[in-house]
Amino acid sequence: MDRNLALELVRVTETAALASGRFMGRGDKNGADGAAVEGMRMAFGTVKVRGEVVIGEGELDEAPMLYIGEKVGCGTQEDMEVDIAVDPIEGTTLIAKGLPNVISVVAMAQKGCLLNAPDTYMKKIIVGPRAKGCIDIDAPVEENVRNVAKALNKDISDVTVIIQDRERHSDIISSIRKLGARIRMFGDGDVAAGIATCFENTGVDMLLGIGGAPEGVITAAAVKCMGGDMQCRLNPMSEEEMNRCYEMGFTDEKIKRTLYLDDLAKGDDVFFAATGITDGDLLKGVVHYGKNMIKTHSVVMRSKTGTIRFVDAVHRLDKNEIIKHLMEKYGKK
């Protein structure tokens, strides 16, 4: 794939972040999400690919834009066919409350390379590059933490595990506390938490727990680009979720199977881009200064080269027709 697609994807997440940034703290998560979806969909119209959304906002009857199966991109027959995974706002509840770590994310790979995951729960364990090969989703929590500590040359008491603050994780939390490792809790935002394991300056060493399967695929794209490691397993928690798995072709055997990075995001050329909407551990949020200037902070990665770029951008509203339209529509809400 053309390496310039990396910057094209950043423009997509930037546009979603710009459209939704004005909703921070206004208590309107649906309004914020709608603005981000519209911005992202409009920006995709400028990207020279023939894309199909495999992870999106839901089925056609549930989502007017960026639904699963929707074709995106402005590409001709000569352009490459690609899979697209999107989360226009990761953390809609967070942005409604004005809380940190809200991001807009996109992953892209060649056609057939991103898992079309059902909208169900998924058990996950994620670590950064230095602990690659040291995790086993079937091993006890204590064994995994010890192995990661050894790989990182850390005392167990210095290992930090990030876990979503949910009742379903009470046993994991209890085991880690008894072991003596550190725990960092988060409310929403599976993707941001998973990516944090691959950046040493976050202080996060591993992620454990059960989160969304679609978010797992997007996270896998970033983890693969950064050389980390990830193991997952679908974990439907209701009859409805089991039926979703069956409807998407997952048999009981496939549901129980361990999924590795190459099962979630295969191929040698995977892209990932994210833009901060509110300030977070990895990215700064959208900053408005003056009537015509907005600043964004993004990260873009490519697995083929292992390149990770942070992009600071200043946007002139009067120079970009898409952004100008979105600001006029949502800027005074």
Which residues contribute to the annotated binding site for Mn(2+)? 33, 57, 87, 90, 215
Torsion 325-326-327-329 (CA) sign: positive
Task: Dig out the tokens for 128 from the structure.
Answer: 């950064």
The residues, any chain, with a CB within 8 Å of residue 162's CB and separated by 6 or more, are 183, 184, 185, 186, 193, 196, 197, 204, 206, 207, 208
Pairing of strands 270-276, 293-302: antiparallel
Phi, psi of 52, rounded to the nearest 5 degrees: -130, 130
Report helix angle 170-179 to 141-152, nearest 10.
50
| Other CB atoms within 10 Å distance of the CB of residue 48 | 15
Half-sphere exposure of 124 (CA within 13 A, CB side): 34
Cα gap 289→224, rounded to integer Å: 36
Report helix angle 5-20 to 29-44, nearest 10.
150
Q: Which residues make up each annotated binding site for substrate?
A: 90-92, 121, 166-168, 188-190, 212
| Other CB atoms within 10 Å distance of the CB of residue 258 | 12
The residues, any chain, with a CB within 8 Å of residue 135's CB and separated by 6 or more, are 125, 127, 144, 147, 148, 206, 229, 231
Q: Which residues make up each annotated binding site?
A: 33, 57, 87, 90-92, 121, 166-168, 188-190, 212, 215
